[in-house]
Amino acid sequence: MKRIISILFLLLGALALYGQSARELIREDPNKAGGVYYMYPFHEHHVTPPPRGYKPVYLSHYGRHGARYLLNDTQYERSMNVLRDAHEAGVLTDVGERIWQEASAYFEETCKYRSGDLTPLGWDQHYRIAQEIYNDNRALFRRHPSVEAGATQIPRCIVSMTAFLQGLAAKDRKLEVYANASKADLDEICPHSSDNPRRENVQMEGGRYARINPWGGKLGEFIDARVDYRAIAARIFTDPDFAKPYRGVRAFVTDFYDLVFNMQCTPTDRSLMWFFTPEECYSLWEVNNYIHYMESAPPATTRDLPALWNLVADADSALASGKPAVRLRFGHDTVFLGLMSMVGADGFDIVPTSADGISDTWLNFRAPMAATLYFLFCVNKQGRVLVKMVVNGDEAALPLTPVTGPWYDWEDLKALINTRFPQ
């Protein structure tokens, strides 16, 4: 009965936090339809201090890199080349011609030669987030904790880490900081990376990590029930099948979706958001959300479990030392969403009865550009350790009975993790 009440509490909490539905949230803010392209939601938030008799001793953080351009030149070329060829062939509609003019100008002005890089907005995000975390946890930082930071070897992650540390330094230049970007840390920052020397052999299928669909069925069926890609293409090309010889109509619309929704991450006043209808925004997001669920959430995958196991081991080691410390990690959205799911933050561990129910509680725009989560640990004189989890500034609900407010017993959280994911 307590477990049922706890689940109901999580669901009600999710509704209160995110609104009545993902559809309504996206209608209110279409940028959320970009999923992991959504920008970090800076906002006023509540900070619950440690209970009486407890003092903060350790902060364990995981942050996604900040806002970036599209991952590689190919992502731009796959949509831009089709639009260019259609423009030269004279088969763009009036709307399509407007899109081509806007998109080509945007690419030349803003994105050329920058694919995969952190944008100036991404730098600002992590600088500000560092200062927010410092302000929200002054009781810990007043104790002059040692700060250890690590990033994957991807430049946007290293630059994000640099911006974050600059933000901390602006608050307290006396902080003792060590930072690196080593393959040795990939097991805790991005376990599935092909550069991780400790990565276990995984079965590959179709060029991607093998995944388990908990409900059967195929991605194509899920997509076809939601998005009419040909109807979308027909508003751009006089012949909606024009994109077929390239990679197909569906692939073109998906690539164009990436281009449009990534624009919010870049320093531009241009926008193509006007093209998609509210229903198309939601449907395209729902497909994108499904794909991210399959890449990040148990039971579909557990490829990034080492990140969780390392987080637990690091915490126990830091707590045993008795010295105040901060551990910062800068990685990627897939691992961030995996951690959310594995610990069940805000109902992210609820497995729906079908794929149609994923978007009821599992929302990939909870991993926006510069997504940030951390665990704050505090201890009393008797050695009892309490922990709270903070996600993008908000204190998270975990599938456990709290000691008080957002604070949970560390032993309870470890027991939950060990039961779900024994090593």
Q: What is the pLDDT of residue 133?
A: 98
pLDDT at 79: 95
Higher-pLDDT residue of 398 and 18 is 398
**Residue 117: φ, ψ to 5°:** -80, 155
- Output phi, psi for 151, to 5 deg: -140, 155
pLDDT confidence of residue 19 = 54
Specify the pLDDT at position 382.
97
The amino acid at residue 358 is I
Q: Greater confidence, 259 or 207?
A: 259
The predicted pLDDT at position 6 comes to 44
Paired residues of 234 in beta bridges: none
Residue that is written with structure tokens 């430049």 in the block: 155
In Å, what is the CA distance from 33 to each residue of 280, 299, 337, 397? 9, 24, 17, 24
- CA neighbours within 13 Å on the CB side: how many for 129? 37
Category of 237 on φ-ψ map: left (φ > 0), alpha (ψ -120 to 50) or beta: beta
- For the residues 28-39, what does the mean pLDDT come to? 98
Residues 374 and 64: their CA atoms lie apart, in Å, by 12
Average pLDDT of every residue of the chain: 92
pLDDT of 211 reads: 62
Bridge partners of residue 205, in order along the sequence: 208
Asked if residue 11 has pLDDT above 50, the reply is: no
Calculate the CA 330 to chain-centre distance.
12
C-alpha 110/C-alpha 223 separation (Å) is: 32
Q: How far apart are the C-alpha atoms of 274 and 97, rounded to whole Å?
A: 14
Domain borders along the chain are 2-67+118-208+295-420, 73-116+210-277
2-67+118-208+295-420: what CATH class? alpha beta
Answer whether 72's CB lies under 8 Å from 252's CB. no
Instruction: Answer yes or no: is pLDDT of 2 > 60.
Output: no
- Backbone φ, ψ for residue 276 (5° rounding): -85, 140
Please tell me which residue, 223 or 236, carries the higher pLDDT value: 236
Return d(Cα 300, Cα 192) in angstroms, integer. 15
**What's the whole-number mean pLDDT along residues 232-257?**
96
For residues 165 and 324, give the distance between their C-alpha atoms in angstroms, rounded to a whole number: 17
The 3-class secondary structure across the chain, one letter per residue, is: CHHHHHHHHHHHHHHHHHCCCHHHHHHHCHHHHHHHHCECCCCCCCCCCCCCCCEEEEEEEEEECCCECCCCHHHHHHHHHHHHHHHHHCCECHHHHHHHHHHHHHHHHHHCCCCCCECHHHHHHHHHHHHHHHHHCHHHHCCCCEEEEEECCCHHHHHHHHHHHHHHHHHCCCCEEEEECCHHHHHHHCCCCCCCCCCCCCCEECCEECCCCCCCCCHHHHHHCCCCHHHHHHCCECCCCCCCCCCCHHHHHHHHHHHHHHHHHCCCCCCCHHHCCHHHHHHHHHHHHHHHHHHHCCCCCCCCHHHHHHHHHHHHHHHHHCCCEEEEEEECHHHHHHHHHHHCHHHCCCCCCCHHHHHHHCCHHHCCECCEEEEEEEECCCCCEEEEEEECCEECCCCCCCCECCEEEHHHHHHHHHHHCCC
Please state, in angstroms and rounded to a whole number, the distance separating the CA atoms of residues 175 and 173.
6
Q: Which pLDDT belongs to residue 203?
A: 42
Give phi and psi for 375, each to the nearest 5: -110, 125
Contacts of residue 193, defined as CB under 8 A and 6 or more positions apart, other chains included, come to 152, 186, 199
**pLDDT digit string (tens) for 87-128?**
999 999 999 999 999 999 999 999 999 999 999 999 999 999
Tokens 């942050």: give the residue. Answer: 63
Averaged pLDDT for residues 120-139: 98
Q: Are 144 and 176 in contact (CB under 8 A)?
A: yes
In the predicted model, is pLDDT for residue 12 greater than 80?
no
pLDDT digits (tens, 9 = 90+) for 196-206: 998 875 443 33
Cα–Cα distance for residue pair 243/7, rounded to 1 Å: 46
* pLDDT score for 68: 98
Band of residue 315 on the pLDDT scale cut at 50, 70, 90: very high
**Do residues 396 and 346 make contact, with C-beta atoms less than 8 angstroms apart?**
yes
**pLDDT for 37:** 98
* Rounded mean pLDDT, 348-365: 94
Closest CA to 365 of 255, 278, 264: 264
pLDDT at 296: 94
